[in-house]
Amino acid sequence: MRGAASPWSRLALLCACASALSIAGLLAAFPHARVRSFVSGSPRPSSRPPLTLTRSNTFTIAIFADLHFGEEEHGWGIEQDVNSTRVMDNVLQAEKPDFVVLNGDLITGENTFRENSSAYVDQIVQPLLRTRTPWASTYGNHDSKFNLSRASIYQAESRYELCYTESGDHSLPGITNYYLPVWTAESKSPALILWFFDSRGGASYQGSPPDVDDIPNWVAPEVASWFSNAQSQLRREYGEDIPGVAFVHIPPQVFRSAQEVGLDPSRYPGLNEDVPVDIQGRGSEDDAFVAALLSAPALHSVHVGHDHGDSWCSTWPGEDRASSAPFLCFAKHTGYGGTGRGIEVRGSSSSRFRLEGTATWVSRLG
């Protein structure tokens, strides 16, 4: 059940180009008149400069999903990582994003070495450093393995001043449960909240026996409660619901429902090779998270990776475009690493938002 019509419902749906996925634009949610004095205390204080919209009130986000660095260290794996780096360079050059989200499975941890597993982070971020593009991550199921821990990835990326990843509330299961406000240039009031969730999964670091996936692979109910509480807190602080966009690695079960109900490729083109969608848990463990996503009053869209052969967007099953339910979107598989149906249609790429009435799309820049 949904509340009053969201700001999104007033928006036209635009389609950018043949290979583009397009979902509702964001501009109407950002009325220029919304100028408010600075409210002291950012929700999550950080030493990094605040993220802000550009002068033309845009914020472009490229999503790099499933980079899978470090799969092999004698030949093809090295070339694969060089290729993935080229894809990132190409996307950054073509799209000039203001921000990048690394949406999980940065590294294929089952193939890396205990001594230097997280050193791949230093390779991954080179294109971001070259272009001075700030980024934030969620972690995926391959980021927790016998020789690789999420904590070590977090430590490795946090050393960079362009890294906005946070480790969230330590009492919550997982690491990458946090949010980042994006402020308006003039008024310093948040125009957009970027929400990050940890769908966990993978194997315990140095667990026994090695590399048995023993970590629950869903967003924990405690995180769903944290999400709802954080939204209430923001609403109290700013007097309204701030539009949001969510990132999580493994698709919540609602993505499978959307696929079952039927996608609309004429409106939302994109690969649909992973059928059925591999989802969080067995289809009910993430009930609380899915309910929280649906009842989030101003959540524009949920962006996932994990299923390398899927790159579609969809409306929430049972809801139409006018509904305030978030859109569901796969980020295009970016890395040359990782297997899956349909990835020979390489299209390694990104999705992107522009907060001016356009859209998110997949650019094929492999």
Structure tokens at 359: 């859209």
Measured CA to CA in angstroms, residue 313 lies from 83, 235, 241 at distances of 26, 28, 24
- Return the residue matching tokens 């591999």: 278
Question: How far apart (Å, rounded) are the C-alpha atoms in residues 23 and 12?
Answer: 9
Question: Cβ distance 183 to 224 under 8 Å?
Answer: no
Which residues, in sequence order, are bridge partners of residue 192? Answer: 182
Least Cβ distance, residue 146 to ligand NAG (angstroms): 4
Question: How far apart (Å, rounded) are the C-alpha atoms in residues 207 and 214?
Answer: 9
Rule CB under 6 A: is residue 204 a binding residue for ligand NAG? no
- Residue 241's SS3 state is coil
Question: How far apart (Å, rounded) are the C-alpha atoms in residues 80 and 120?
Answer: 13
Q: Would strands 327-330 and 313-314 be described as parallel, antiparallel, or unpaired?
A: antiparallel
Rule CB under 6 A: is residue 211 a binding residue for ligand NAG? yes
Least Cβ distance, residue 242 to ligand NAG (angstroms): 39
Interface region with ligand NAG, contact rule CB under 6 A, candidates 18-26, 56-64, 106-114, 295-303:
106-114
Least Cβ distance, residue 118 to ligand NAG (angstroms): 9
* Nearest residue to 191 via CA among 40, 35, 16: 35
Least Cβ distance, residue 189 to ligand NAG (angstroms): 41
Interface region with ligand NAG, contact rule CB under 6 A, candidates 59-67, 75-83, 185-193, 271-279:
75-83
Rule CB under 6 A: is residue 214 a binding residue for ligand NAG? no
Rule CB under 6 A: is residue 147 a binding residue for ligand NAG? yes
Question: How far apart (Å, rounded) are the C-alpha atoms in residues 65 and 308?
Answer: 9
By CB under 6 A, name the one of 16, 39, 94, 119 that touches ligand NAG: 119
Measured CA to CA in angstroms, residue 28 lies from 10, 176, 235, 264, 313 at distances of 7, 29, 19, 24, 21
Render 325-337 in DSSP notation, one character per residue. Answer: SPEEEEPPB--S-
Decide whether 119 or 162 has the Cβ nearer to ligand NAG.
119
Q: Which of residues 281-340 bind ligand NAG (CB under 6 A)?
A: 336
By CB under 6 A, name the one of 9, 46, 83, 187 that touches ligand NAG: 83
Structure tokens at 128: 């971001």
Least Cβ distance, residue 74 to ligand NAG (angstroms): 8
Phi-psi region of 75 (alpha: psi -120 to 50; beta: other; left: phi over 0): alpha
**77 CB-near residues (< 8 Å, 6+ apart):** 70, 71, 111, 337
Decide whether 79 or 214 has the Cβ nearer to ligand NAG.
79
Least Cβ distance, residue 78 to ligand NAG (angstroms): 8
Rule CB under 6 A: is residue 206 a binding residue for ligand NAG? no
Position closest to ligand NAG via CB: 113
Decide whether 210 or 239 has the Cβ nearer to ligand NAG.
210
Decide whether 38 or 113 has the Cβ nearer to ligand NAG.
113
Question: Cβ distance 266 to 314 under 8 Å?
Answer: no
Least Cβ distance, residue 329 to ligand NAG (angstroms): 25
Interface region with ligand NAG, contact rule CB under 6 A, candidates 117-125, 240-248, 260-268, 326-334:
117-125
Interface region with ligand NAG, contact rule CB under 6 A, candidates 27-35, 113-121, 156-164, 221-229:
113-121
Rule CB under 6 A: is residue 79 a binding residue for ligand NAG? yes
Rule CB under 6 A: is residue 120 a binding residue for ligand NAG? yes
Binding string, residues 18-47; x marks residues near ligand NAG by CB under 6 A: ------------------------------
* Nearest residue to 196 via CA among 216, 166, 172: 166
Interface region with ligand NAG, contact rule CB under 6 A, candidates 50-58, 73-81, 268-276, 280-288:
73-81
- Return the residue matching tokens 């989030």: 296
Question: Cβ distance 277 to 255 under 8 Å?
Answer: yes
**Which parts of this chain interact with ligand NAG (CB under 6 A)?**
73, 76, 79-80, 83, 110, 113-116, 119-120, 123, 146-147, 210-211, 336
